[in-house]
């Protein structure tokens, strides 16, 4: 079991990680049918204080943070992908559109949508498959550049008003 926890201890930790109270996590992990609420609370508190239980919960929380880390640098990187995107990267040298699996990460990040339709020639039993019609929908490049510029302080959205007269002069 993870970090030398018993199955029930791991279930308790998973309950805490999922957002349950200590009491509810304990009741989920252990048979508490004949226990008073106070007894459950004491046992749950003691279990939660155990070093290996705390270490396992901390490990789960750190793994979650790493998987879902959103930083200023990452957001700026995504804006840069959108703002400095070169649409030529969507096409092969012969002008045909690349398949989605052929796009590099920067190019794929710019796609807001992709529509693929099969194209046929003829009707009924006589129709023949000709190819695919691919439509790429791109993210808003101007919006990304605007956000980058605002972050860099290139736009001054503040208006400064200076009044040379005193309030008494207006009354």
Are 79 and 145 within one domain?
Answer: yes
Does some domain include residue 160?
no
Please compute the mean of the pLDDT values over residues 2-21 and round it to a whole number. Answer: 91
Instruction: Decide which of 88 and 148 is more confident.
Output: 88
Q: Do 54 and 79 belong to one domain?
A: no
**Portion of the chain with pLDDT greater than 90, in percent:** 51
Give yes or no: residues 12 and 59 share one domain. yes
Q: Is residue 158 part of a domain?
A: no
pLDDT tens digits for 29-56?
A: 999 999 999 999 999 999 999 999 999 9
Residue 38, domain member (yes or no): yes
Q: Is residue 163 part of a domain?
A: no
Question: Which of helix, strand or coil describes residue 30?
Answer: coil
Mean pLDDT of the chain: 88
- Look at residue 99 in the predicted model and tell me its pLDDT: 85
Query: In Å, how far are 160, 161, 162, 166 from 170, measured between CA atoms?
Result: 20, 17, 15, 7
Domain carrying residue 129:
72-151
Instruction: Report pLDDT for 54.
Output: 96
The reply to whether 156 falls in a domain is no
Q: What is the pLDDT of residue 116?
A: 87
pTM: 0.46
């Amino acid at each position: 079991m993870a970090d030398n926890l018993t199955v029930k201890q791991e279930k308790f930790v998973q309950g805490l990680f999922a957002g349950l109270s200590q009491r509810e996590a304990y009741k989920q992990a252990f048979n508490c049918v004949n226990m008073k609420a106070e007894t459950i609370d004491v046992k749950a508190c003691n279990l939660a204080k155990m070093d290996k239980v705390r270490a396992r919960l901390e490990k789960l929380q750190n793994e979650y943070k790493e998987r879902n880390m959103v930083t200023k640098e990452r957001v700026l990187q995504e804006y840069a992908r959108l703002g400095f995107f070169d649409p030529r990267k969507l096409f092969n040298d012969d002008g045909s559109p690349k398949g989605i699996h052929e796009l590099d990460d920067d190019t794929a990040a710019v796609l807001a949508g992709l529509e693929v339709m099969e194209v046929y020639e003829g009707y009924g039993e006589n129709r023949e498959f000709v190819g695919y019609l691919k439509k790429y929908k791109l993210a808003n490049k101007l919006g990304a550049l605007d956000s980058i510029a605002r972050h860099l302080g290139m736009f001054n959205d503040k208006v400064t008003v200076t009044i040379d007269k005193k309030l008494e002069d207006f009354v």
